Structure 1
Amino acid sequence: MYTQSPFTPAQIEEKLQQAIVALQLKEFKSIRKAAEHFEVPKSTLADRLAGKKTRSQTHEMAQILSNAEENTLVRWILRLTITGFPATPMLVKEMADEIRLRHTWFDAFRIYLIERKYELDDIYNMDETGFGVGSIQITCIIIDSTQKSNWKVTAGKQEWITAFEYVNAAGKALSPIIIFKAQNTNSAWIPKDTSQSWQFSTSTNGWTSNNHGLEWLKRVFEPESKKVLGDRPRLLIMDGYSSHITGSFIAFCIEKDIDLLILPSHCSHLLQPLDIAVYGPMKRYHALGVDRYSRIFNTALASSGSPASPTRRYAKRMTRLVESQNAEIALLRKQLADAQEVIETRKKRTKGKRVKLQGQFVFSTKEILKIVHEAEEKPKEKKPRGRPRKRPIEESEEEIEEEELENSSNDSELELEDCVACRTRSRVE
């Protein structure tokens, strides 16, 4: 007679794992005694020891989501329920697609690393960061709440300087490229003790562009990495920012056998190594250093003993307000320029041969060239340009009617002549 187990499937699984560990430690002499002690079926315990998969693991290949992905989705749903905003079916579907995309990306990346057999010196990460001339980082300050207005002294000249930097998985950093806001590079901006391998460039606003990304790839990354690695394949990990990923950028990577790995969208703050481990702490210490030197300068200026008139106080106050507004405007301009660049990129129609890359997210140079070559060899049906011309049906019908009228008129004239001839003959007779 079948008796239902008093334990839940999760409890039975836990007991089975405990029994397996106990048998591996030789705490029991036989499987039967271990099964009796942990109150689990003997046959199930024997199957597990033999390496047989569970029922859920057996059917996992036929599922859209794996068991781990399903558990992650359940945790998300429960968390939303606790917050008072339960998930809708559409939201659950979007969450499931997001989980599948993340896991698929990591699985494909892991498989590709195994196939290509990259070494730590072959894997590079590239990222860019910007610095304002002066302290513009958002920080918490303690002020007097009884005052109607409060202010903080900031630098008056808010310009943006961008740096391209890259490191490899072995911890080695290569030469950066620095972008100034100017038409031409001024040698006075570069300290005398700067390394000779550093590269410098300029732009109208101090931000990056499509040309700067390609310039960095040609002048810095390709020659220096090839000098270290030789002919070994190189993997370049970077985000999908529009100034990085362009047609010229990708074409140059294909030509020089550089494999690109683009991070998933909206994940740079979690997956970008340079952004997390280097740029964040560096910017905090940079802001603290600028703030410390600003305090020393302001203290020395205040102790100079020059009397402050109401006009000078008002002028200083207005100067501080203008400087703070300039700092905010500099950040807003950069955000606006980035947004406009994204919009313009979406508006542009891509030209060339489009091919579908399926199965994985990272492709080698040979694989991409092979796919593009196969797509170009396929015959393409040529469609006639413009709208199809209509036949002049009405004109032909009118021409036919005119011909019929002419024929009928000719026939009638012949008949009339025959009649007249007959009458004249009869009169003569």
Structure 2
Amino acid sequence: DGNRENITIMVTICADGTEIPPTVIYKGKAFGTQWHHNNNLGASVAHSTKGWTDGVIGHHWIKDFDKKTCEKANGRPRLLLVDGHNSHYTEAFLSYARQQNIHVLCYPAHTTHIYQGLDVAVFGTLKRCWSEERDEFKRTTGQKITKKNFIQVYQKAHIRAVTPATIKAAFERTGVCPLNRQVITTDMMATSLVTSNQGHLPLLQPSPVRVLADAIHQYQ
């Protein structure tokens, strides 16, 4: 309906099968205290004017990533794989990453459907689970999804979809962990065929047209 607003969910997974609680970004000019209600998922909550991430949120996010992964890293470098959103490439984001020995690696443009494990193995299931949980909530309560109850409903889908098994599959199916250079094939990276403007002449005409054309041709 006309009251829909953007909500962004930043999902972060680790190659050992664990995850960092997601960040939920609501559209708004000020923080709503009710947005945290029933947040058993432990999600971080933020807001922006459009409901998308931005440089400020990205900077806070990488600090949260550092805080929640530094212990198991135990002084070793951490590899952070990200897409090409500009919030991942601000001076503040990259400077903080460099200081904390976090190596930021971006997927090539237009390849997240191949390289990004979340796209390959997680988001499809998460989308299906979200649709089921949303519909069940509406059916049993008669309520619409709002900022106040969004996390309450979303967390059920998240718990069902983002499991240790699917997380590990995300890294395995993209060849990241265990490292497998054979997973991404040449065919998968081939340039898409442009078919919308390829013409093949002469065009095959419907039967009555062909009959008439043949008749005209006989008298030329």
Question: Percent same amino acid at aligned positions?
Answer: 32
Aligned to 2:38: 192
Q: 1:192 to 1:184 in 2, by over 3 A?
A: same
Q: 1:184 to 1:264 in 2, by over 3 A?
A: same
Q: Once the 2 structures are TM-superposed, how far is the Cα of residue 187 of structure 1 from its aligned partner?
A: 2.1
Is the 1:166–1:173 Cα contact (8 Å) retained in structure 2?
A: yes
TM-score w.r.t. length of structure 2: 0.58
Aligned to 1:158: 4
The amino acid across from 1:211 in the alignment is V
Is the 1:210–1:243 Cα contact (8 Å) retained in structure 2?
A: yes
Aligned to 1:168: 14
Deviations 1:117-136 (A, max 9, x none): xxxxxxxxxxxxxxxxxxxx
Match of 2:107 among 241, 249, 263: 263
Aligned to 2:69: 225
The amino acid across from 1:289 in the alignment is E
**Cα distance in 2, alignment partners of residues 285 and 198 from structure 1:** 18
The amino acid across from 1:188 in the alignment is Q
Secondary structure of 1:279's counterpart equals: helix
The amino acid across from 1:262 in the alignment is C
Is the 1:208–1:243 Cα contact (8 Å) retained in structure 2?
A: yes
User: 1:87-106 residue pairs with structure 2 within 5 A?
Assistant: none
Secondary structure of 2:45's counterpart equals: strand
Deviations 1:68-99 (A, max 9, x none): xxxxxxxxxxxxxxxxxxxxxxxxxxxxxxxx
Aligned to 1:253: 97
Is the 2:78–2:102 Cα contact (8 Å) retained in structure 1?
A: yes
**Cα distance in 1, alignment partners of residues 86 and 122 from structure 2:** 22
Q: Once the 2 structures are TM-superposed, how far is the Cα of residue 265 of structure 1 from its aligned partner?
A: 1.1
The amino acid across from 2:33 in the alignment is S
Aligned to 2:61: 216
Q: Once the 2 structures are TM-superposed, how far is the Cα of residue 227 of structure 1 from its aligned partner?
A: 2.3
Q: Identify the structure with the greater strand proportion.
A: 2
Q: Once the 2 structures are TM-superposed, how far is the Cα of residue 293 of structure 1 from its aligned partner?
A: 4.8
Is the 2:28–2:47 Cα contact (8 Å) retained in structure 1?
A: yes
Aligned to 1:50: none
TM-score w.r.t. length of structure 1: 0.31
Q: Once the 2 structures are TM-superposed, how far is the Cα of residue 184 of structure 1 from its aligned partner?
A: 2.3
**Cα distance in 2, alignment partners of residues 273 and 290 from structure 1:** 25
Aligned to 2:207: none
Aligned to 2:46: 201
Aligned to 1:391: none
Q: 1:186 to 1:165 in 2, by over 3 A?
A: same
Cα RMSD of the aligned pairs, angstroms, is 2.2
Q: 1:199 to 1:289 in 2, by over 3 A?
A: closer
Q: Identify the structure with the greater helix proportion.
A: 1
Q: Which runs of 5+ in 1 are unaligned?
A: 1-154, 299-429
Q: Which has the higher contact order (CA 8 A, sep 6+)?
A: 2
Deviations 1:164-207 (A, max 9, x none): 22111111011222111122222212223525x53211111211
Q: 1:200 to 1:193 in 2, by over 3 A?
A: closer
Is the 2:5–2:27 Cα contact (8 Å) retained in structure 1?
A: yes
**Cα distance in 2, alignment partners of residues 240 and 290 from structure 1:** 30
Q: Which runs of 5+ in 2 are unaligned?
A: 143-220
Secondary structure of 2:85's counterpart equals: coil
Count of matched residue pairs: 142
**Cα distance in 1, alignment partners of residues 103 and 25 from structure 2:** 26
